Structure 1
Amino acid sequence: MTSESTPTVRRDVLAVLSPGFVGTELPEWLAELLRQGLGGVWLFGQNVVDDDQLRRLTAQIHEANPTALVCSDEEGGTVTRVDHVRGSRWPGPWAVGKVDDTDLTRDVATATAARLVSLGVDLTAAPVADVNVEPENPVIGTRSFGADPELVSRHVVATVEGLRVGGVVGCPKHFPGHGSTTQDSHLTLPTLDASTEVMAQRELVPFRAAVEAGVECVMTGHLVVPAHGSAPATLNASVISLLRDDLGFDGMICTDAIDMEAVAQDPGREEAAVQALRAGVDLVCVGNPVFPQEYDAEADVLALARAVEAAIEDGSLAANRVAEAADRVRHLGARQAERRRAAEPVEQSADAVPELGLRAAAAAIDVTGTIPALTLPVIVGASSSGNMASGARQEVVLSVLARHLEGTVVDLSDAAEIDSQVIVVVDDHTPFDDDTVSALLHHADVVVHTGIRDLAPGSVDGALVRTFSGGLASALAAASVLGSGDKA
């Protein structure tokens, strides 16, 4: 902090920052910043060992600052933090959207919230409100409810309502919409190449529905909207005004992580934080200090705070703008603290996948062809990469199928030597044009596809089982179908 800053300004500046940290215990530097008024903390997989450890950690955070927002990414499917070790106990949004039962979606969200409340989590960066009309989208895919704005809208609303009933703040993302892009904002700066008319009829529809449903928080995306200038949406007052003025949102606006390359490279994290606040954002999500690149979390958040204070002092950022943002963060944090105190304890097994999760995942399964009776199959994962936003990836599906079908997981490089029954697991990151993968798909007795992209006609000779989701619940649903055998 700068020497000239007043205690009020210092507290407001801290209130608009929410960093991650390294480790599974609350570091003293972070506890001290929380006592001084830090707005929130983001939890990632590297912060979580098990439920008991997580409860102790979140209790320490709330003891240091009762109104601090403990935040996490709990989308279901491939994206989870609290269940990253075993995989999500809920199917992902695309699978839920395929079922298209809003009562089921609402129930899943309510149950998800109950689990998060039991672990001390206040806010989840979900639901994904992006309309995924681009099959080649490298970062959204199964994280979206679908490609139809109205379908996405009704499931975004059901999720927001369910999370609220369960006691957790939902935070639809990535405003104004990441679903039609072909680049990943973790790695570069994407462009939302759509006219204002198309955006109004497509990208903005789910966010408008969420606002009308009373959502309390919205997360911005790091993407350029040419109709609103060259600045990324997170740093762009014109885009933020779409949310505030056109959609009428008066709740808390949170950034996507500013350690993502889309803004971390240019203008850089410190300047990005200042520009985001100037544009109208309220809470700056700093990101995960161990992935994809390591950095000093303490030094980083202190540098961000100094940069914001310096901008206030030189007049490039209005102090009342930061005060307004801080008030929104504290107001939501205080409201969530009341909800925590009023919440009824919910007994949940740390290991079992709820029947609701299995039922929702099973309802999305689609089978083409006839599944043979499987005896000690070999299971091969045909994707070497994963979604940058994901926690548990293809390995969850591989291990579940191996365990439940008494099979063996074999590396793709060894697949050519297989002479037993073969199950190949693919997703949207599988290199389908690779000769080895192509040959393996023809050789496989069963292909399990967890993504949204359609496979080329004739590329699979055996049965095709589509889950439209990764994670534990969808893997168990697939294992159940495969274990039944001879299922048309």
Structure 2
Amino acid sequence: MGLDPGLRRLALGTLLAAYPGPVPPDWAVDLVADGLAGHTLFGTNIDTPAQVATSTAALRAGRADVLVAVDEEGGDVTRLAHATGSPYPGNAALGAIGDVALTRRIYQAIGAELAALGITVNLAPTVDVNTADDNPVIGTRSFGADPVRVAAHSAAAAAGLQSAGVAACAKHFPGHGATVTDSHHELPTVDVTPEVLRQRDLPPFAAVIAAGTKAVMTAHIRVPALTGAGPATFSRAVLVELLRHEYGFTGAVITDALEMKGAALAAGGIAPGAVRALAAGADLLCIGAKVDAELVERVAAEIVTALGDGRLARTRVEQAAGRAAELAAWTRTAGTATATPTDLGYAAARRAIRVEGVLTGLHHPLVVQVHTRSTIVEGRVPWGLGPHLDGTELIQVVAAEADPQELRRIAGARPIVLVGRRLHRLPGGPELVTALATTHPVVVVEMGWPASWRPAGTRAFVTTYGASHANGRAAAEVLGLTR
């Protein structure tokens, strides 16, 4: 016997699915017609602007108010520019600049670009306060380590997006910035009191709620004092008592991807996780990136089963679907701003550059780019100085496998520019810098989160606060190496 059509439609109304490839398959559109809340686009769905616009129009043919979401943070996390790198610096750069009005303009420009393509929800901004220098998943996605600064820029970002007619989704509640493990792979723990959260992690969420953000995304993190053994995504104490009651949020609560290990392992799978998230107070369930029709139907069936066995109250699922529908209604009436090509992001990236030391005498250097494995959320997006160089020689190495003597031989009498992301955390990274600096003038270009590490013996340390296309160009310019 199949699912009750009414209950299936109700369950689908709480789900954000995804599909493979640049063209929505028939099943993806059919599910929208059957009541699916919407789809999230990933890099694999994006080729050209015209193709994206055609795809979103196809989804809208299934149902006019379908939600089309994307992770377009700018900086290191981009979907629209995954093939080249973002033309905007990320949040760390914007926080370093400290110009709240600029942050609003950057996010308004991103929103206008999304709106022009038919995308209605941006799973951004990241409003986590990055208090852990070695945070493996937030880092340059954060506006900084100061709650007051992060709050001001977070509110500006949300307002900028929504002024362009695209719903903002502030993430990751109640704050992923103090973690030292990645929730894509495991369940991180932030073992602090609720009062520490209120002082350190929650001010940006209070700011974006006051600014009218339409959505907030949950974090797959464990805060024992609030969540017990499970993640915040499954915690009523976090999603209802804290977010709804204490902070007064009335919009849609969207889960981080339920396929992530921080949620899936805790729940025993994506479908059981969907039930637990709904029961805890989530409204829109982001299933993940690797989705097919069978998975969507399995999640919907689990929700319907939970309605029958008492794990879920029908009123709770109706409330969730209702908030998803309210979000969709807002996106249809919000209006859009006109997207205009601009140098705004590149100009901002130049303002973010920080130089410690001396850059004179860098004639015809050898540029050595140190390989860094991308995080899951970043994806394999090009980064570095390569696209911007004026013919300067560039070689790529793995720090732990690099031979300093061979690099010295290649450099000859030339200085060396060593480019990396999170260099101090790479096996062999600090040792490579030290070895090269003993015989050559070395300039380090750090394109990851600017931790306190500063290697001895180098001529200069350049911080870009991100590795986007814009950040790379800005670094090449300040080094005098651009075409």
TM-score (normalised: structure 2): 0.92
Which of 29, 33, 36 pairs up with 1:35? 33
CA contact (8 A) 1:71 1:124 kept: yes
Aligned positions of 1:361-400 closer than 5 A: 361-372=349-360, 374=362, 376-393=364-381, 395-400=382-387
Match of 1:95 among 72, 79, 93: 93
Q: Which residue of 2 aligns with 1:118?
A: 116
Aligned-residue offset at 1:343: 2.9
Residue equivalent to 1:326: 321
| 2:252 aligned residue | 252
Asked if 2 retains the 8 angstrom alpha-carbon contact of 1:174 and 1:221, the reply is: yes
Greater Cα offset, 159-168 or 453-462 = 453-462
Are residues 1:447 and 2:440 paired?
Answer: no
User: How many equivalent residue pairs?
Assistant: 468
Aligned residue identity for 1:359? A
Code of the aligned partner of 2:336:
A
- Verify: 1:298 aligned to 2:297, yes or no: no
The answer (yes or no) to whether the contact 1:382–1:430 under 8 Å persists in 2 is no
Q: Partner of 1:427 in structure 2?
A: 421
- 1:464 match: 461
Correspondence for 1:293: none
**Counterpart residue number, 2:261:** 261
TM-aligned CA deviation for residue 436 of structure 1: 3.6
Per-residue CA deviations over 1:277-299 (Å, capped at 9, x if unaligned) read 0111000001111xxxxxx5222
Q: Give 1:240's aligned residue.
A: 239
Q: Is the 8 A contact 1:424 1:440 kept in 2?
A: no
Equivalence map 1:210-225=2 (5 Å): 210-225=208-223
State the SS of the aligned residue for 1:172: strand
Provide the residue aligned with 2:339 in structure 1: 346
**Alignment partner of 2:462: what SS?**
strand
1:258 counterpart letter in structure 2: L
Report the Cα distance in structure 2 between the residues aligned to 1:404 and 1:225, rounded to whole angstroms: 49
Deviation at 1:119, TM superposition (A): 1.6
1:425 maps to amino acid: V
User: What displacement does 1:404 show?
Assistant: 4.0
Alignment-mate amino acid for residue 162 of structure 1: G
CA separation of 1:182 and 1:233: change in aligned 2, threshold 3 A: same
How far apart in 2 are the matches of 1:321 and 1:60?
31
Aligned AA for 2:475? A
Return the letter of the residue paired with 1:288: A
- Report SS of the residue matched to 2:461: strand
Larger displacement relative to structure 2 (206-215 or 381-390): 381-390
Give the SS at the match of 1:335. helix
Task: Give deviations 1:396-423, integer Å, cap 9, x for gaps.
Answer: 214224x445433333456642332432
Query: Structure 1: where are the runs of 5+ without partners?
Result: 290-295, 349-353
* Amino acid in the other structure paired with 2:419: V
Cα distance change, pair 282–76 in 1 and its aligned pair in 2 (3 A):
same
Closer/same/farther in 2, CA of residues 72 and 471 from structure 1, 3 Å limit: same
Residue number in structure 1 paired with 2:479: 482
Give the equivalent residue in structure 1 for 2:8.
10
Identity %: 38
Distance 1:153 1:47, change over 3 A: same
The CA distance in 2 between the partners of 1:457 and 1:361, in whole Å, is: 22
Q: Name which of 141, 148, 157 aligns with 1:159.
A: 157
The Cα of 1:469 is off from its aligned counterpart by 0.9
8 Å CA contact 1:150–1:205 kept in 2: the answer is yes
3-state secondary structure, aligned to 2:229: coil
Distance 1:171 1:414 in 2: 42
Q: 1:345 to 1:62 in 2, by over 3 A?
A: farther
Deviates more, 1:89-98 or 1:419-428: 419-428
Tell me the amino acid that sits aligned with residue 249 of structure 2: F
Q: By how many angstroms is 1:347 displaced?
A: 4.5
Separation in structure 2 between the aligned mates of residue 345 and residue 147 of structure 1, nearest angstrom: 33
Query: Residues 357 and 459 of structure 2 are in contact (CA less than 8 Å); yes or no, is this contact kept in structure 1?
Result: yes
User: What secondary structure does 1:265 align onto?
Assistant: helix
Cα pair 1:105 1:158 within 8 Å, conserved: yes
Out of 117, 130, 135, the position equivalent to 1:137 is: 135
Q: Structure 2 vs 1, CA of residues 231 and 344 (structure 1 numbering), >3 Å: closer, same or farther?
A: closer
Q: How far apart, CA to CA, are the structure 1 residues paired with 2:452 and 2:148?
A: 26
Structure 1 residue 458 displacement after superposition: 4.0
Give the C-alpha shift of residue 332 in structure 1: 1.0
Alignment of 1:266-277 (within 5 A): 266-267=266-267, 268-277=269-278
Contact 1:378 1:410 in 2 (8 A): no
Query: Paired residue for 1:407, among 379, 387, 393?
Result: 393
1:285 and 2:286 correspond: yes
Closer, same or farther: CA 282–338 of 1 in aligned 2, 3 Å: same
Q: Corresponding residue for 1:25?
A: 23
**Post-superposition CA distance 1:402-460 (Å, at most 9, x none):** x4454333334566423324321122265456134542465463211012243544435
Q: Which residue number in structure 2 is paired with residue 351 of structure 1?
A: none
Kindly indicate whether the alpha-carbon contact (under 8 Å) linking 2:372 and 2:426 is maintained by their aligned counterparts in 1. no
* 1:257 alignment partner, SS class: coil
SS of the equivalent of 1:300 reads helix
Cα distance in 1 for partners of 2:347, 2:437 equals: 28
The answer to whether the 8 A contact 1:117-1:168 is kept is yes
Q: What secondary structure is seen at the aligned counterpart in 2 of 1:70?
A: strand
For the residue of structure 2 that corresponds to 1:448, the secondary structure is strand
- Partner of 2:170: helix, strand, or coil? coil
409-418 or 83-92: bigger deviation: 409-418
**Aligned to 1:381, what secondary structure does the other structure show?**
strand
C-alpha contact 1:109 1:163 (8 A) present in aligned 2: yes
